[in-house]
């Protein structure tokens, strides 16, 4: 029983999303076979998110529902020409105060002059989008227009059966968790040793934490795919379900420069930040984008230092990519440059993760405790 409790505590969020996958499949089959009307599809997503929030968040789900209620009040009372600014400002104030809710509303609606029934028809898709159970716990960030297009068109032009792709991605989640525990063994073996082992240990700790994100993004992608979300056509005769991918392990970790890593890491949110901030800023777009992302994540000291390092290194990397790399003509020089750039990227990301993620301290203490216990056992023998 203690083993089961440990397993649940260690993988609670992953298991909660796994248990939601059958409900995603149920939505897909009911919707594609025409058993759900348009209104019922929105209600399915909305009620599913409500139940999932209550079960997983408990009393803290009140924060989510309060945010939804405030948004509905704003939509019904604020003039549509200034609605986006009001929603954005109130949401970011809420974000700053509680550092909790990660789903701001990024759309402008006009409800002026609509009847009660018409307002209901407009509000239902929005509330369904906010409480969508497939993205409530771990994302990914789906554009509102894509969400509405999917819900309205799933019975007319349904995506192919997602059973196979979900099965494959679930196996990948298992492999990512297995790889994460392999790196934990490396940490336990190399921690509290000489300098070289210490460097390897720090890199392995950062990799453990990144693998934790990769696994959660992959299970979130599974849940969305199970409901039919994320399909983006056929490529080379194979169905492509990567439309809502936040970044695969191999693709992201093979990034040979820090700016490329920044684009691939948490890809749906990175694309949103690019649209929302980077492309709209005439002056200093890169610092402002990272500054807004810092505000979004919470203005902690570690985050301030980590995001500042990240922004500075991306800026330097972009300069190198524009001015230095084109001057390299020999293939061997480019190969050396790419190799050194990949190593540098890994070092920078390791430093940023160590600085930003508070759970590093707990992991270090755990490793110290494990090492100490192992040493004591060896001495006793």
Active site residue 266: yes
- List the one residue out of 156, 143, 115, 150 whose CA is nearest residue 42: 150
Cβ atoms 189, 370 nearer than 8 A? no
Active site residue 212: no
d(CA 34, CA 154) in angstroms, rounded, equals: 9
Token pair in block for residue 114:
């609509």
Token pair in block for residue 307:
């995001």
d(CA 46, CA 331) in angstroms, rounded, equals: 55
Conformational region of residue 357, where left means phi above 0, alpha means psi within -120 to 50, and beta covers everything else: beta
Which single residue is written with the structure tokens 């820090």?
258
In sequence order, what are the residues at sequence separation of 6 or more whose Cβ sits closer than 8 angstroms to the Cβ of residue 69?
Answer: none
Question: Which of the following is catalytic: 194, 297, 303, 381?
Answer: 297
Cβ atoms 108, 126 nearer than 8 A? no
- List the one residue out of 239, 219, 243 whose CA is nearest residue 162: 239
For the chain, what is the largest distance between any 2 Cα atoms, rounded to a whole number of angstroms? 82
Question: Which of the following is catalytic: 266, 303, 315, 362?
Answer: 266
**Catalytic (active-site) positions:** 266, 297
């Amino acid at each position: 029983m203690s083993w089961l409790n440990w397993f649940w505590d260690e993988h609670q969020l992953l298991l909660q999303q796994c248990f939601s996958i059958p409900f995603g499949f149920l939505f897909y089959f009911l919707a594609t076979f025409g058993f759900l009307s348009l209104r019922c599809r929105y209600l399915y997503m909305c009620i599913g998110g409500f139940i999932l929030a209550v079960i997983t968040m408990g009393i803290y789900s009140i924060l989510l529902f309060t945010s939804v209620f405030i948004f509905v009040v704003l939509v019904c009372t604020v003039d549509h020409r200034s609605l986006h600014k009001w929603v954005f400002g109130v949401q970011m104030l809420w974000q700053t105060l509680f550092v909790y809710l990660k789903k701001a509303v990024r759309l402008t609606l006009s409800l002026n002059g609509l009847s009660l029934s018409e307002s209901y028809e407009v509000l239902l898709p929005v509330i369904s989008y906010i409480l969508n159970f497939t993205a409530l716990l771990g994302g990914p960030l789906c554009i509102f227009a894509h969400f509405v297009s999917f819900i309205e068109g799933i019975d007319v032009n349904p995506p192919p059966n997602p059973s196979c792709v979900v099965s494959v991605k679930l196996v990948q989640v298992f492999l990512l968790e297995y790889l994460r525990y392999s790196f934990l063994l490396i940490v336990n073996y190399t921690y509290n040793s000489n300098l070289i082992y210490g460097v390897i240990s720090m890199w392995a700790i950062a990799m453990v934490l990144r693998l934790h994100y990769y696994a959660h993004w992959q299970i979130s992608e599974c849940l969305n795919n199970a409901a039919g979300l994320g399909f983006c056509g056929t490529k080379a005769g194979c169905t492509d379900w990567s439309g809502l991918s936040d970044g695969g392990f191999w693709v992201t970790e093979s990034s040979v420069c820090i700016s490329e890593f920044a684009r691939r890491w948490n890809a749906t949110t990175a694309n949103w930040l690019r649209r929302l901030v980077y492309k709209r800023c005439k002056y200093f777009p890169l610092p402002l984008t990272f500054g807004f992302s810092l505000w979004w994540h919470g203005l902690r000291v570690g985050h301030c230092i980590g995001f500042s390092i990240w922004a500075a290194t991306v800026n330097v990397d972009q300069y190198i990519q524009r001015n230095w790399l084109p001057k390299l003509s020999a293939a061997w020089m480019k190969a050396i440059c790419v190799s050194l750039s990949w190593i540098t990227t890994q070092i920078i990301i390791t430093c940023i993760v160590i600085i930003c993620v508070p759970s590093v301290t707990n992991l270090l203490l755990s490793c110290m405790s494990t090492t100490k216990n192992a040493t004591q056992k060896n001495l006793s023998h």
